[in-house]
Amino acid sequence: MNRSADAPPAVLERLGVDIDPLSPARSWPVESTVRRLLARVDADALDQAVGSAKPFTWTATAGEVLAKVRLVAANVKKLVNNKSN
């Protein structure tokens, strides 16, 4: 699945992805363009930005998670029952 298509137009344009004027399709950059972009990335700044991010911490208890799972299961069951009627 291509998640890059979900990026906002401004981000795609900044990365060099052009809009085809004759259709809504986008023209994706070739490999050499991507390589040049990656070569310009400051590795130390990227490492500091990624390394300084807070790690994910789980805050829900097992009981809270189980309650949510049961709620979702009940809602799915209702949807399935309504669809089959």
pTM score over 0.75:
no
Q: At a CB cut-off of 8 Å and minimum separation 6, what does 73 contact?
A: none
Write out the two tokens for 10: 């401004």
pLDDT tops 70 at residue 2 = no
pLDDT tops 80 at residue 50 = no
- Judge whether 33 and 16 are in contact, CB under 8 Å: yes
Largest Cα–Cα distance of the chain, in whole Å? 60
- Structural domain count, the chain: 1
Residue numbers of the domain that contains 9: 3-84
